[in-house]
A and B are shown apart, each in its own frame.
Chain A
């Protein structure tokens, strides 16, 4: 089992749609979780950290399920500008530097 697994997509959705991505991780002792966004030919940028209690930032909601070892990202009211690849990222050891990246889920929002 890969350390971090994501559905590669692509997810093709119309503007205004709600879309959800899931990610599973293999190490049950993992400490920290993030979603990054990567635009084509650009560097990854931190979208949000994922907390055990779940967290929301505007149209974006992240959830963590430790029992099932999965993380989700929900995007409401999709915008054209949300089109990107979304990377699920896990820190399996709780120390600085040990980030494991998923391969990403590609989202394409159409007019």
Chain B
């Protein structure tokens, strides 16, 4: 597995503001992903963070709302833009080390939007 850290671990934000979440991996990885887990729900993939190119978004998620960066093979950021209370969720990054399609998750960022 990989050691994955996320910052911040939690935040409380005001409606209309934006929050950038960072994900750092201790080794180079092929694939990095961003998920959302809303209260009582399963994980939903937001996008795949591609190194050196634009992220690939899943249906229902758009770049304007969730811009993603991936400047290198160990780091990615997800921004939640123009937040509303419906964005209150846990946001998790995950990595695939390329040895199968298992994914390993960061500890998550718990976001509350007031």
Q: Does A99 contact B (CB under 8 A)?
A: yes
The 8 A CB mask of B60-102 against A (1 = contact, 0 = none) is: 0000000000000000000000000000000010001010111
B96 touches A101 (CB 8 A): no
A43 touches B42 (CB 8 A): no
Q: Does A45 contact B (CB under 8 A)?
A: yes
A96 touches B101 (CB 8 A): yes
Answer whether A97 and B45 are a contact pair too, CB < 8 Å, given A43-B106, A44-B105, A49-B100: yes
In whole angstroms, what is the CA distance A43 to B98 when docked? Answer: 20
In whole angstroms, what is the CA distance A53 to B42 when docked? Answer: 27
Answer whether A99 and B41 are a contact pair too, CB < 8 Å, given A42-B107, A43-B92: no
In the complex, number of A-B residue pairs with CB atoms less than 8 Å apart: 50
- Residues of chain A within 8 A (CB-CB) of B108 are 42-43
- Residues of chain A within 8 A (CB-CB) of B101 are 32, 91, 94-97, 99
Q: Does A87 contact B (CB under 8 A)?
A: yes
Q: How far is the CB of A34 from the nearest CB of chain B, in Å?
A: 6
B42 touches A99 (CB 8 A): no
Report B's interface with A, CB cutoff 8 A.
Answer: 1, 30-31, 33, 40-45, 48, 92, 96, 98, 100-108, 110
Answer whether A103 and B104 are a contact pair too, CB < 8 Å, given A96-B30, A97-B31, A97-B48: no
Q: How far is the CB of B56 from the nearest CB of chain A, in Å?
A: 8
In whole angstroms, what is the CA distance A97 to B43 when docked? Answer: 13
Total residues of chain A contacting the partner, CB 8 A = 22
Q: Does A29 contact B (CB under 8 A)?
A: no
Q: Does A80 contact B (CB under 8 A)?
A: no
9 A-B pairs (CB sep. < 8 Å): A43-B106, A44-B92, A95-B101, A96-B30, A97-B33, A98-B45, A101-B44, A103-B41, A104-B42
- Contact of A103 (CB < 8 Å), options: B1, B30, B42, B98: B42
- Residues of chain A within 8 A (CB-CB) of B98 are 96
Measured CB to CB, the nearest residue on chain A to B33 is: A97
B42 touches A45 (CB 8 A): no
Interface core residue of B1, B31, B42 (most chain A CB under 10 Å): B42
The 8 A CB mask of A24-36 against B (1 = contact, 0 = none) is: 0000000010100
